Structure formats: C-alpha cells, structure tokens
Amino acid sequence: MSDMLAVRNAQAVPLAHMPVLEPEAFRRAVLDAVASGARIASFFGRPLPSGRLGVLCALAHDHAGTLSLLGMEAGEEYPSLSPDCPQAQLFERELAEQWGLRPKGHPWLKPVRFAPPRRPGGEPMGSGPCGVMPFYRVGGEEIHEVAVGPVHAGVIEPGHFRFQCRGETVKHLEISLGYQHRGVERALTGGPDARTSHYMETLAGDTTVGHAWAYCQALEALGRVEAPARAAVLRAAALELERLANHLGDLGALAGDVGFLPTQSYCGRLRGDALNMTALLCGNRFGRRLLKPGGTGCDVDERTLDELRLRLDALARDSASALRLLWDAPSVTARFEGAGALTLGDARALGLVGPSVRACGALQDVRRNQPFGVYRYAMIPVSTWDTGDVFARAHVRWMEFQRSVVFLRELFETLPAGPVLRAPGSPAPESVVVSLVEGWRGEVCHAAVTDAAGRFAAYKVVDPSFHNWPGLALALRGQGISDFPLCNKSFNLSYCGVDL
C-alpha cells in the first residue's frame, strides 16, 4: 500500500505523483493489494514518448473508501498477474491486443475484441474474422458443442457463445465478444471535443446516465469545479430512474424466460413508464442531453416535479402488484432458486461488481463505498442476498428497485434551489483521475490521463459488464443448457459497453 498513490473517487492528481514501478515490483504490489481485499477497477496502457508502454492500475479499496494508483513501464512483455489473480485476465488480454504488450505466463491469451492494434505497425492478435479463435474444448465421445451467435434469436446485440455439453448439462461456456467494436475508446484520445459527450452517451445505451456521469465527474475534477447542488440531485434522480427502468425490464424478461407471462407483460409496459419519466426531465428516454460537464443541461419546474411524483407513485404501485405475482408463484421461484449459482469466493476472485456480486452477499456498492455526488450525504441502503443464484440476482434487483423509489421521493422533495450548471475550467495538464459511478449493472469506471496540453492522452472506460461476463460463463457450469437464457438475463450484461 505504501508504494501506491491513495486518491478519492474523482480526485484529479498530478501524474508525477503516481509511483511507477518495474514490472516485477508492480506485479507484487497489485497481487498483495488484491490479496488484502482490493479490487482492480481499471488497468490500461498508453504509449510513452520513449516508445515503451505506460501501464496504469487503479485499485478500489471498498472498506477504506479509497482508490490507489500505481504505474508500470514495460517494453514488450512483463510477468502476467492472471495466474495468481483471475480478475486481471481480461485486462491483460486487452493490453496485449491493443498495444502488443505480452503478459508472460497468461493462461488464456486470446483476443478480447478482435480489434486492430492501436500501436502503429502492431500485429493483430486475432487471425481472421471476429470470433475465429481456438475455443476451449472438452473432450470425449459424449461431449457435444453448441455454438450460438453472433446473430441471436431476439432483438439483442451480437456475441458468440460456445457451450461444451454432456447431454443437457453445460460443462463449460466460453464467450467471445468484439462484434460491436466501433473504436469509441480509441476515438476519445485527444479529446475532450464536440463529439466527446455523444461518445459517452453511447458507450452503452442503457447506461447513458451512468457513463455520462462518470465522464462529467472526471472532467469536473480535471477542471476544478463541482456541479451545483441542484444539478447533483437531478443527476441522482436520472441515475436511479435508469436503475428502475432496467431492473424492471429485466425482472419482466426473467418472468418471460420461465414462461410466466403476466409479470413479463406488465413489466414491459412499466419499464417504458420509467423511461418516459427520464424523458420528462430531458426529452429523451435514455437520458441523452441531460448531463453536462459542470452540471446538467436542463432544469425542472414545479409542475414537472409534481408530475414526476405522481408517476413515481403509480409506477411503484403497479410494479409492486406485478412483482407480487412473480414472488408468489412457486413455479417461478422453483426455477429461479439454485439456477446459475456463484459463490462469494468465486465472485470476488473474478472481480464481479453490482447486483451480481451483491447477490453473493458482498456489501459492495460505489454509492456507499466510494460515494459521489449526492450519495456523499444522502444514504441509500445497499441490498444484498447470499445465495448467488438467479433468485438472488432477481431479488437484489427488486430490493434495489424499492430502495430507489424511496430515494427518488426524497430527492423530489429536497431539490435545492440554484443554478444547474457551473462550467469547468480547461482540464489540468499531466494529470490523472479515476471516476466511479454505481450504474444499474454495477461499477462504471472512467479513467483519464491528460497530456501537457490538457488533452486526453488516454481515456479508459470500464463498463461493469467487463468484470461480469466471466461471472456468467462460470455460473453456467453444471447448468442445463436450457437455463442459459434465464441465467443470462439475470446478469443482463452489455455487449457494446465491453466492445467499445
């Protein structure tokens, strides 16, 4: 710990203050921190003038409420952390794919996004089209392989899933993504500019508010300004509305996946009602245009507030009635219980975040552990369950829905007067900031490193799905393959948020 730089959530610090270690010492320091309970929040590289790669690791210390930053400089390879620290594996693969930095001893070195190398003259990691790679295979005459995607049966994003099955039982699932790779993170380098906020709002469409907030917070830290109190409350309202909409939609979809149509039907409509409340704030159902660096792009009047209160009451009432049916139906709970169970140990080892890790019993929530915005002084209780299965993930989401409704009522009652925007100064040069927000799926992490002119030398986005996809793969072990949709929906992870 002593050889790391301790910072708070969204605190900009000069880059020179961050210790930079040799690869072996870096590896040791990160492994020790993770062994003592820290999590890897972000882990990324940027090319240095020397031609070497500057690697930065941000660790989250949930109990201390702090983050710590640590750097490493490497040439072509370094000793891999993954054999001792599974949560590093995807980050290390990403570094290898983007910058050609080889983690020596990595047990699973495969492409993450089938993306072209970012280093000029670099070799692409995948050979051939997206998804073509050596998948893990289980041997034996009784084993068969099921391949699904990238084009799925529903109206959803593309991804490829390989199941190794014995009969109906899944022995292993490997997930290959990258189909949505549109170069958005690469395009953020050199910003901020006029396109930046649109990129942020479309990192993951269903987490527009979560990502926009993480970006705004980073830019406010670099520009030494704090969003006005009124804007802070409006942001929290939008974030909780986003949570309501997505949790409701997924609870309905879970009902649909076990053939329980009444709750599915009602939730489909109710999700829309929550989205329309966000649209009442800013005109857009996903919260586009609402958040701006320095505050919010729009304000609300008393009449709109009254309307929001009325709609929230109706939403809470109708959702309770729709969900009561679900929880009271033994045919539903029997399917939910025991399906896709993860242990807390596995969830922690993989570095899971959000409702997925809270469903394993972890008291882990950025709103509580690394509070930001209004969550610094207004508490929202953390909801947990401890069975780690589909039931737990569904139940945690329902509890969170209820807590968010109560919290929203409070926000609508206590909206402070004053302005909603205070423009930030130009970003501080040669600085680093890590900004965390608890989106509906879990921790949204944005990290920015600025150059001498205050432009983004690197901008790293970690969507909660990046941490959680391996959790879904593990949850499928030993499950019936027909339970895949159910397990999948209980996580409902983002493809575009990972593919970037």
Partner 1 sequence: MLKILWTRLQQKHRTTAYPKGPAPELPPRFLGRPKIDMSRCTPDSCRSCAGACPHGALDIGERVRIDLGKCLFCGACEAACPAGVIEFTREYRMAVGRRGELEVQDAAYRLAEALDAKSRKLFGHSLKLRQVSAGGCGACEADVNVLNTVGWDLGRFGIQFVASPRHADGLLVTGPVTENMRLGLLKTWEAVPSPKLVIAAGACAISGGPYLGHPEVHDGCTRLLPVDLFIPGCPPHPLTVLDGLLRLLGRLEKDGR
Residues that bind partner 1 (CB under 8 A): 113-116, 129-130, 150-151, 153-158, 178-184, 186-187, 193-195, 198-199, 201-206, 208, 262, 265-266, 268-269, 271-272, 276, 279-286, 288-289, 298, 318, 321-322, 324-325, 328, 494-496, 499
Q: How far is the CB of 43 from partner 1 (least distance, A)?
A: 22
User: Residue 12 burial by CB count (10 A; 0-12/13-18/19+): exposed, middle or buried?
Assistant: buried
Instruction: Round to whole Å and give the CA distance between 168 and 118.
Output: 42
Q: Which is nearer to partner 1, 208 or 364 (CB)?
A: 208
Q: How far is the CB of 317 from partner 1 (least distance, A)?
A: 9
Q: Which is nearer to partner 1, 9 or 264 (CB)?
A: 264
Q: How far is the CB of 484 from partner 1 (least distance, A)?
A: 15
DSSP alpha helices (H): ranges in 134-228? Answer: 184-188, 196-201, 208-222
The single-letter DSSP state of residue 155 is: S
Residue 235's alpha-carbon distances to 291, 356, 444, in angstroms, are 7, 24, 15
- Please report how many Cα atoms fall inside a 13 Å half-sphere around the Cα of residue 342, on the Cβ side: 34
Instruction: Round to whole Å and give the CA distance between 163 and 219.
Output: 42
Instruction: Round to whole Å and give the CA distance between 78 and 25.
Output: 11
Q: Which is nearer to partner 1, 286 or 372 (CB)?
A: 286
Q: Are 176 and 159 in contact (CB under 8 A)?
A: yes
Q: How far is the CB of 196 from partner 1 (least distance, A)?
A: 9
Q: Which is nearer to partner 1, 9 or 208 (CB)?
A: 208
Q: Which is nearer to partner 1, 144 or 317 (CB)?
A: 317
Q: How many CB atoms lie within 10 A of CB 224?
A: 12
Q: How far is the CB of 95 from partner 1 (least distance, A)?
A: 19
Q: Are 175 and 161 in contact (CB under 8 A)?
A: yes
Q: Which is nearer to partner 1, 229 or 322 (CB)?
A: 322
Q: Which is nearer to partner 1, 186 or 409 (CB)?
A: 186
Q: Which is nearer to partner 1, 59 or 237 (CB)?
A: 237
Residue for token pair 């242990």: 343
Q: Which is nearer to partner 1, 284 or 333 (CB)?
A: 284
Q: How far is the CB of 263 from partner 1 (least distance, A)?
A: 9
Q: How far is the CB of 188 from partner 1 (least distance, A)?
A: 12
Q: How many CB atoms lie within 10 A of CB 269?
A: 12
Q: Are 347 and 474 in contact (CB under 8 A)?
A: no
Structure tokens at 352: 């899971």
- Please report how many Cα atoms fall inside a 13 Å half-sphere around the Cα of residue 46, on the Cβ side: 22
Instruction: Round to whole Å and give the CA distance between 286 and 479.
Output: 34
Q: How far is the CB of 215 from partner 1 (least distance, A)?
A: 14
Q: How far is the CB of 174 from partner 1 (least distance, A)?
A: 17
> Going by C-beta distance under 8 Å and a sequence separation of 6 or more, which residues neighbour residue 34?
40, 59, 85, 87
